[in-house]
A and B are shown apart, each in its own frame.
Chain A
Amino acid sequence: MNGVSPPDRERFEPGGAATTADQARGGDSDAVRAVRGGEVAAFGRLVERYQRRVFGLSLMLTRDPAAAEELAQDAFVRAFTHLDAYDAARPFYPWLATIAVRLSQNWLTQRARHESREGQPGAADAEAKGADPLTLLIADEESRRLWRWVAALPTGERAAAILYYRQELTVDDVARALGVSGGTVKTLLFRARRHLRRSVGGAGEAGDRT
Chain B
Amino acid sequence: MTTDSEPGFSRLADIEAPSGLAKVVVARVSRLAEERPPAWLATGAAVRVSPGRPSASPRWRLSDVAAAIIALAGLALVAVAWTQARPDATTWKTVFFPTLGGPFIARLPLALPAAVSLGLGMALYLAGLFAPLREHGTRRRG
Q: Which residues of A contact B (CB under 8 A)?
A: 11-14, 36, 38, 40-41, 43-44, 47-48, 51-52, 54-56, 59, 65, 69, 72-73, 76-77, 80-85, 87-89, 134, 137-138, 140, 142-143, 145-147, 150, 161, 165-166, 192-193, 196-197, 200-201, 203-204, 207
Cα distance A201–B11 in the bound complex, in angstroms = 16
User: Given A12-B10, A47-B22, are A72 and B44 also a contact pair (CB < 8 Å)?
Assistant: no
Q: Is the CB of A56 within 8 A of B10?
A: no
> A80 to chain B: which residues have CB within 8 Å?
29, 32-33, 38
> B16 to chain A: which residues have CB within 8 Å?
52, 137
Partner of B13, one of A38, A41, A138, A192: A138
Q: Is the CB of B15 within 8 A of A138?
A: yes
Cα distance A76–B17 in the bound complex, in angstroms = 13
Q: Is the CB of A44 within 8 A of B22?
A: yes
Q: Is the CB of B8 within 8 A of A55?
A: no
Partner of A51, one of B11, B17, B51: B17
A124 to chain B, nearest CB (A): 19
B51 to chain A, nearest CB (A): 7
Q: Which residues of B contact A (CB under 8 A)?
A: 1-18, 21-22, 24-26, 28-30, 32-33, 38-41, 44, 46-51
Q: Is the CB of B24 within 8 A of A11?
A: no
User: Given A77-B25, A77-B29, are A89 and B17 also a contact pair (CB < 8 Å)?
Assistant: no
> A41 to chain B: which residues have CB within 8 Å?
26, 30
Cα distance A132–B17 in the bound complex, in angstroms = 17
Q: Is the CB of A192 within 8 A of B7?
A: yes
Q: Is the CB of B38 within 8 A of A83?
A: yes
User: Given A137-B15, A203-B3, are A73 and B25 also a contact pair (CB < 8 Å)?
Assistant: yes
> A89 to chain B: which residues have CB within 8 Å?
49-50
> B8 to chain A: which residues have CB within 8 Å?
12, 146, 196, 200
Q: Is the CB of A77 within 8 A of B15?
A: no
Cα distance A51–B20 in the bound complex, in angstroms = 10
Partner of A81, one of B5, B18, B38, B51: B38
8 sampled A-B residue pairs with Cβ under 8 A: A40-B30, A52-B14, A52-B17, A72-B25, A83-B40, A84-B40, A193-B7, A196-B7
> A11 to chain B: which residues have CB within 8 Å?
6
A45 to chain B, nearest CB (A): 10
Q: Is the CB of A38 within 8 A of B10?
A: no
A155 to chain B, nearest CB (A): 17
User: Given A40-B29, A72-B17, A88-B49, are A51 and B22 also a contact pair (CB < 8 Å)?
Assistant: yes
Partner of B15, one of A56, A83, A192, A197: A56
Partner of B18, one of A40, A55, A143, A146: A55
